[in-house]
Chains A and B, each alone.
Chain A
């Protein structure tokens, strides 16, 4: 790997990993906002209005950083991966342009009304703006995941030209859009976003509940977010399984890396956790023998092609990395299901908000979907290597010819510094907003509870 390739890959991975913190948060938060504001319109209860206004401010902060870091992604395809851009422009470019026209324009235009339109438009129109912003971000994710899925499982194309002049041409637009992995990957990513946003609401609300502040608001928000999170968590079980099926069928090398399965063709185990030594081609850990075979073929004995059945130059190199990120994602997914179901049970029993330790867990739980989303993305992208377009274009062939290593290094250092600063500022401002809390107009109960936490209604709910 030469320096330009290495640096460009690091830069792309870093900028996209950073970007990927924010859009999932705003997608999930957007759904929560729609529910909150919808409840306000329905019940005319001030609590929901104040909650909406509070969360809109946090939404704006997250959305702003998401847009700014997203524009970077769009340009990096051309700056760092010019050969890739030329190769896939017909396809990937179309999806990206469609995202701009059909999704990004919608969210950006109505964001202005969402943030500044409270006194300018009627409550109904404002609610419509909230719904459209949420829909816009959901459509955005759709086109981006379609573009990425085509890289994973290309279809609806033919190759024109040869060598460095080769490029992919769309032959069937809808086959390109609905390529074999689009729907499965989109639903998986989207639900991951719902989890990210709803857990932010859960975390902040749990923090208020623990401190005995803004109890009416915090409990209302917690209930809304817990519903979103529970339904999403259960849905994720289904989409996760579907995604794995697609990987099994279309990206056998990635599947083999995910489970550290080397033998050319043998029944494959399913690991709960473990460690892969790529040199000795051994995987050790806690496993269900034949578990992967069973999951794929409903038969513990049926063989599954391992990494050794694939030509060495076409295998992903970072096998242990893919294994670990995949297993971490699955483990977190299971933890989220357990956590949300248990909380739902306590809510039903009327004991949820008194269970102090659980509230503490929820304060930190915001990290769970974030980490799962990140490592899931790494699994998908690193598992696809050495291909940038699976089976068609190698990452090492996708680079810009005109770019020098020192230029990429310069930009990488600048991005690192700026993003570090941006992240610290984001945490600082987010914390400040949370400390400040929602602006409450006339809620006596909450004022007393804020002044004297020991009298908080949490005790006699």
Chain B
């Protein structure tokens, strides 16, 4: 098998897609979270400020989803087809929510009427919450494994996806994003909305820690295959330990009102949790809950070496560009939000 820098190509793509999903979770995570807590702001001006805090950047954040999905399609087409078709209705709901969210942000400012703005505020917030929950629900099911038979065919039913563990991960993702988004908004705001957000961030972080503990415990008890790697490689145990410390650091930062630090910590938390998931998964991409022969491994699902190699070159050229645009964009809109003529 072809290797680049000693790592084989499917593993490269496993890592790259993991990085893209982490990037998506961190970036879109905060604007989804900002949407999730949107209805807690009562004043029209506060809502406008909150919306304009993500206004110039949310579209760029969503790019990471588009690239991540495209990369999965290109590198592991079998997994792309399997995951999307198995979770058909959840993904359809996800797409509708994405549409509603995009048009809510775009349409809200176009009319002055109170009912119009209220309607789009609700649509924006509900769709943000639905997207976060669905991402968590799908993640929870992928952690447990889905019913695939030995031929990798799905033999389950839709309602199986709504199991307690998956619902727990769904709520955890929502809590994580809400906390993450609240801290982002704190960095971008002042005065009244700032004060309101400090309370929201405080409560969201407490709720997240509760969810985090519950999910960790549930994973240890009910999803033992996710922790198997720590038995064979005890030194890797440093990662879950780091996750716990960094989560505690979120609380500490919030209490000390160091929100930039808190925001960075919740970003790292997002990445660490996905890394732990990836470690439990590797070298598989999709686990079967009923038959180990149904697991889909990166080697089984990968595109041809030639294609993976070309795409790796594209990523090597393209990802630094994408990172540069992202940094340039955030740098251009640095500082607290000021409403002006071109604002939403």
Contacts and interface: CB of A to CB of B under 8 A. Distances in A.
Nearest to A80: B85
Interface string A58-76: 0011001101110110110
B205 interface: no
Interface in A62-94: 64-65, 67-69, 71-72, 74-75, 77-94
Contact of B56 (A79, A116, A401): A116
B71 interface: yes
B84 A82 contact: yes
A448 interface: no
B71 to A, nearest CB: 5
Given A60-B106, A116-B55, A101 B88 contact: no
B107 A429 contact: yes
B73 A85 contact: yes
Given A109-B326, A112-B55, A402-B154, A79 B304 contact: no
Contact of B310 (A118, A173, A414): A173
Contact of B307 (A65, A94, A112, A410): A94
A458 B106 CA distance: 36
17 contacts: A64-B102, A65-B103, A75-B84, A77-B84, A79-B88, A86-B77, A93-B73, A93-B74, A105-B63, A108-B60, A109-B325, A112-B57, A116-B333, A173-B306, A402-B82, A407-B92, A414-B92
A259 interface: no
Interface in B301-344: 303-304, 306-307, 310-311, 314-315, 318-319, 321-322, 325-326, 328-329, 332-333, 340-343
A88 B77 contact: yes
A418 B96 contact: yes
Contacts of B310: 94, 170, 173
B306 A113 contact: no
B60 A71 contact: no
A357 B63 CA distance: 45
A103 to B, nearest CB: 10
A97 B311 contact: yes
A104 B74 contact: no
Nearest to B334: A120
A318 interface: no
Contact of B66 (A90, A94, A100): A100
Contacts of B67: 97, 100-101, 104-105
- Chain B contact residues, majority secondary structure: helix
B14 to A, nearest CB: 15
Contacts of B73: 74, 77-78, 85, 89, 92-93, 96-97
Interface of B: 52, 55-57, 59-60, 62-63, 65-67, 69-71, 73-78, 80-86, 88-89, 91-92, 94-96, 98-100, 102-103, 105-107, 110-111, 153-154, 158, 303-304, 306-307, 310-311, 314-315, 318-319, 321-322, 325-326, 328-329, 332-333, 340-343
Interface in A7-43: none
B38 to A, nearest CB: 18
Interface in A373-421: 400-403, 407-408, 410-411, 414-415, 418
A279 interface: no
B303 A100 contact: no
A119 B103 CA distance: 25
Contacts of A167: 77
Given A93-B70, A171-B306, A173-B310, A117 B154 contact: no
A159 to B, nearest CB: 12
Chain A interface residue count: which class? 35 or more
A96 B56 contact: no
A238 interface: no
Given A71-B98, A85-B73, A86-B81, 18 more contacts: A64-B103, A67-B59, A68-B98, A79-B84, A82-B85, A89-B303, A94-B311, A98-B314, A101-B314, A106-B325, A109-B60, A113-B56, A169-B306, A170-B306, A170-B307, A402-B86, A407-B88, A418-B99
A207 B75 CA distance: 50
A74 B85 contact: no
B81 A109 contact: no
A94, A99, A104 pick with most chain B CB within 10 angstroms:
A94
A121 interface: yes
Contacts of B60: 105, 108-109, 111-112
B62 A108 contact: yes
A169 B315 contact: no
Given A116-B55, A121-B332, A102 B81 contact: no
A119 B99 contact: no
Contacts of B110: 429, 432
Contacts of B71: 97, 100
Contacts of B80: 77-78, 82, 85-86, 89, 93
A169 B304 CA distance: 6
A428 to B, nearest CB: 9
Given A85-B81, A97-B71, A102-B318, A120 B86 contact: no
A222 interface: no
Given A89-B80, A109-B328, A418-B96, A99 B102 contact: no
Contacts of B332: 112-113, 117, 120-121
A160 B95 CA distance: 33
Given A85-B80, A99-B70, A432-B110, A104 B92 contact: no
A171 B304 CA distance: 9
Contacts of B70: 74, 93, 96-101
Interface string A431-457: 010000000000000000000000000
A310 interface: no
A425 interface: yes
A119 B100 CA distance: 29
Given A96-B70, A104-B63, A72 B78 contact: no
Contacts of A89: 73-74, 76-78, 80-81, 303
Contacts of B311: 94, 97-98
Given A64-B102, A69-B99, A403 B88 contact: yes
B11 to A, nearest CB: 18
A68 B99 contact: yes
B208 to A, nearest CB: 28
Nearest to A439: B341
A78 B66 contact: no
A59 B285 CA distance: 40
Contacts of A102: 314, 318, 321
Nearest to B75: A93
Contacts of A115: 55-56, 342
Nearest to B335: A120
B102 A68 contact: yes
A342 B102 CA distance: 41
A422 interface: yes
A110 interface: yes
Contact of A78 (B65, B81, B106, B153): B81
A301 to B, nearest CB: 46
Contacts of A113: 56, 329, 332
Contact of A71 (B57, B95, B329): B95
Contact of A61 (B66, B85, B106): B106
Contacts of A92: 73
